[in-house]
Structure 1
Amino acid sequence: MIFEGCSSFRTRIILSLLSGKPVKIRNIRSRDNEPGLKEFEVNFLRLVDKITNGTSLDVNETGTDLYFQPGLLIGGSISHECCKLRGIGYYLELIIMVAPYCKKGIQITLKGVTNNEKDPSVDSFKAAALPILQRILLAATDASMEIKKRGMEPEGGGEIYFSCEPVKYTKPIQLTDFGKIKKIRGTFFSLRVSPTIANRMVEKAKANMIKYIPDVYFTVDHPKGKLCGKSPGFGANIVALTTTGVTLCADSVSLPFSGQRTTAEEIAENVSSATLEEIWRGGCVDSSFQSLVLIYMTLRQKDVSHVVLGPLSPYTIQFLRHLKEFFGISFKLEPYSDNKEDEELRQGYDSKILVTGVGIGYSKLV
C-alpha cells in the first residue's frame, strides 16, 4: 500500500501491523527545510521493532521514503525510552491497540514526558482508555497501568508501567447507554514548583465544577525527589463518570518554563471548560479514544456491534478512511439522540452518532 506525506504516520504503521500489509510512504516532508522522518517517528519505529519479530524497515538517505514490512506481534517484557518531543501517550496508543493481539502478554515500561499539550496524558489513558480495554475485551482483569513517575517537557523523567494479556475471544460491542453524570474526580499535580500552585488549581476548578454537580472531589499530587521528573511544571486531569460506567476526561498543563508563563488559575479554567465541553459532546467514549473503539469493533467476531460516539474528531474521520483501505470495512453512521430536547439542541456536526459495524473475525498469527 502506497501513501504520500507524513500525516497519519502512526495510524498507517499500526494498521499495517494488525493487517499484515506492507506499506510504502513517500515524500515525507520532502519540501520542508528539514525533510524526512522526525526524531520521535524514528523512536516510534524502534518501539514497533521491540514488540514484533521479523519487521523489516527500509529508509532512503534523506528519510523521505519509507518501506515498512510488518512482522509478527510478539509482546513480552519491554523497556523503552520515548522521545521527549512527544508525550508517552503518543507511544501508548500503539501499545493499547496491539497488546490484546500479541502472541504473548505484554509488560512494558515507557519513560519520557507523561504530560504535555500535544498528546493525551497518561492520566487520560488510565482513566478513559484502560476502562475501554477492560469493558470491551474479555481480558478485563488482565490489563493494568501504573504511573510510577511524572515528567514534564522539556527534560521528561516520567515513567509508566503497562501490562496486558492477549485476548482469546471477543464478543460484539454494545455501548449505547450514556447514562447521567454521577460524579467528577480529578488529579492536580505540581512538579518542582510550590505545592500551593496545585491547591490554587483545585480551588478554582472546584468552584467551576460544583456549579454543574455537587459530587466533586479532587486530589493533589506533589511528588518529591526522583518521582517529580527533571523539569518544573504543573497541570490537571479531570474525569467525569456516568451511572453506566462511561468515562470522559480532559487535561491541561503549563507551558514549559523556558517560554510563556501560565498561571494556576488559567490551567484550572482550561481543564474545567474542556471537561464541560467533553460532557456536552456526549457519546459513550471519550473523544480522544474514539479510534480505540473503532479498531476493536473492526477486529471482533463477525457480529454486529453498536457504539454511540460524540461528534467525530478529524483524527477519527481519517482513521475510518484508513480502516477501509487496510481492512475493507465500512461503518454505518447515523445521527443519534436519546430525547427530543437533545435532538433540537444538536444539529449537524454537533449531533451524536450511532456507529454500526460488523467485525472481520480477526485471528492473530501464533
Structure 2
Amino acid sequence: MVAPPIIFSSHVDFRMRLVLATLSGRTIKIDRIRSDDMEPGLKDYEVSFLRLLEAITNGSVIEISYTGTTVLYKPGLIVNGTITHNCPLSRAIGYFLEPVALLAPFGKAALNLTLKGITSNGIDLGVDTIRTALFPIFTKFGIMRQELRVVKRGAPPLGGGEVNIFLPHIVLQPSTLHAAVKTPAVTKLRGVAFSTRVSPASVNRVIDGARSVLSATNCETFIFSDVARGEESGKSPGFGVSLVAETRSGWCYTAESIGGAGEVPEDVGARAARMLLEEVANGGMVCRSQLKTVIVLMVLGKEDIGRILLGEGVIDASIVRLLRDIKAIWGTEVRLKENDTFGADEEELDGPTEYVMSVKGIGFVNASKKIA
C-alpha cells in the first residue's frame, strides 16, 4: 500500500521541505502557497529550484496546480552528474546551492554543477560564505573535498555571475557528531572583500571599515581582496564582504554584508564586522547560517546519540519549524537541555545561555550510492 503524502502548508521552508522529502523518499504535498497574496502561487525562483531538483534526481514527479498554490512532489533517486543551471535574478546562487549541497553527498555519482546568476545579494548566503563557512561543517560529518570556484562575480540587479561547484564525496551516511564541550575561543579572523564594476579602492575601504571594528578583538585578521575585472565582473556594479571567525578546533562563525544604493564602503565593512561579533557572542559551536545543515546531517547519522552545543541566540522560529518538519517525515525528536557541564563558580556570569542539543540518528543509508 502506498503511503499517503505528507501535507505541509505555506511557502515557508519550501526548499528544506523538498530536501527532507528527497532524502527520506516520502511524497509530500505543499498547499496554500501564498493563497491570500495579490500574486498567489509559486515565485519564479521556487519553480527554478524545482527544475534544478528535477535535474539532479531521476524519477522525480512534480505536479503544480493550475494556480500554482499547490505542489505535489514524489522524489526519485539522487543521481547528480554534470549540470548547468541558470538562476533567476530574483534570488542569489546561494539560494540554490545551499540545499543542493545537502543532497549531493547522498547521490549516485559526483556532482559537477555550474550555476549562473547573482553571486551575493545580502539575502541568501553568498558563495564566499558557503565556501569558507558551510563546507567546513560538512567535514565534521565525514564529507570531504567540496570545491567551489567563482568564475565570474555577479552583483544585483543584473547578475552575470558564474560559479562552478564540484562535490565528489559520496557517503552512505554522515558521521555522528560529538561537540558538546565548552564553546571554543576564536583564534583568527578571515574574510573576502569583493567588488564588481566599481573603483578598486572600494575594496580597500570595505576592509578598513571591517578592521576598524575587529581591531578591538586582538585576533589575527586577514581579509583578502577580490577585484573582478573585465569579463569576470558581471553586469552590475557592487561591492561587499564575507567574514569568518575561526576556532582552533575547526568551527567557524560567519557574517556578510553587501553594499546598498548610495552606501559608503566603510559602513558595509563595519556592519559585517559587527554582525560577525554578534554571531560569536551567541556562543555555541555554530552560527545561524549553519545550524539547519547541522541538524539535518545529525538526524541522518547512524543510530547513535549525537550532541552539539548551541547558543540561545541561534534558536529561532525557523529552527522550531524545521524540527517539526523532521518529526513529521521521520518521526524523530531533538532534545535540548541547558548546558551545566561547568559548575557555577566556573561559569562566566555575563556569558550567553547555551544548550546541548541531543539527536538520535535515524540510521539513514544512501540507497543511490554505487556498490563497489
What TM-score bracket applies, with the shorter chain setting the length? Answer: over 0.9
The Cα shift of 1:31 comes to: 1.5
For the pair 1:204 / 2:216, whether they are aligned, the reply is: no
Matched, 1:37 2:42: yes
Cα deviation per residue 1:173-204 (whole Å; 9 max; x = unaligned)?
A: 11234321111111111110111111111112
The root-mean-square deviation of aligned C-alpha atoms, in Å, is 1.6
> Separation in 1 of the partners of 2:116 and 2:284?
32
Q: Aligned pair in 2 of structure 1 residues 29, 199: CA closer, same or farther (>3 Å)?
A: same
**CA-CA distance at 1:317 after TM superposition:** 2.1
The alpha carbon displacement at 1:337 in A equals 6.0
Displacement of 1:169: 4.9
Q: Which residue type is aligned with residue 291 of structure 2?
A: Q
Tell me if structure 1 keeps the 8 A contact 2:129–2:256. Answer: yes
TM-score (structure 1 length as normaliser): 0.93
Separation in 2, partners of 1:57, 1:152: 31
Q: For 1:98, which of 86, 96, 103 is the aligned residue?
A: 103
CA shift digits 1:47-86 (9 cap, x unpaired): 0000001111111211111111111111111111111111
Q: Residue 140 of structure 2: SS of its match in structure 1?
A: helix
Q: Determine the C-alpha separation between the residues in 1 that align with 2:247 and 2:100.
A: 27
SS at match of 1:222: strand
How many residues were matched structurally?
A: 357
User: Is 1:293 aligned to residue 294 of structure 2?
Assistant: yes
Q: 1:132-143 alignment to 2 at 5 Å?
A: 132-137=137-142, 139-140=143-144, 142-143=145-146
Q: Does residue 324 of the first structure (1) align with residue 327 of the second (2)?
A: yes
Please tell me whether the aligned partners of residues 174 and 298 of structure 2 are also in contact (alpha carbons under 8 angstroms): no
Residue of structure 2 in register with 1:274 after alignment:
275
> Which residue of 148, 152, 159 maps to 1:149?
152
Give the residue type in structure 1 aligned to 2:46.
Answer: E
Using the alignment, how far apart are the partners of 1:99 and 1:344 within structure 2? 43
Matches within 5 A, 1:208-223: 208-223=213-228
Residue from 44, 54, 59 that aligns with 2:64 = 59
What is residue 176 of structure 2 aligned with on the other side? 172
Q: Secondary structure, in 3 states, of the residue corresponding to 1:210?
A: helix
Distance of 2:292 and 2:348 partners within structure 1 = 25
TM-score by length of 2: 0.92
Q: What are structure 1's unaligned runs of at least 5 residues?
A: none
- Once the two structures are superposed, the pairs formed by residues 258-273 of structure 1 within 5 Å of their partners are 260-273=261-274
Name the aligned partner's letter for residue 361 of structure 1: G
| Residue 365 of structure 1: aligned partner | 367
SS at match of 2:217: coil
Deviation at 1:281, TM superposition (A): 0.8
Equivalent residues in 2 for 1:104-119, closer than 5 Å: 104-119=109-124
Q: Give the match for residue 310 of structure 1.
A: 311
Q: 1:304-338 deviations in whole A, cap 9, x for unaligned?
A: 11111223133222111111111111111012266
Q: Post-superposition shift, 1:136?
A: 1.3
Q: Alignment identity in percent?
A: 34
Aligned partners of 1:192, 1:150: CA distance in 2, in Å?
10
Q: Could you give the per-residue CA deviations for residues 212-242 of structure 1, whole angstroms, max 9, x where no partner exists?
A: 1241111211110111111101001111111
Counterpart amino acid of residue 288 in structure 2: S
Q: Is the 8 A contact 1:287 1:310 kept in 2?
A: no
For 2:347 and 2:147, the matched residues in 1 are separated by 36
Residue 345 of structure 1 aligns to a residue whose secondary structure is coil
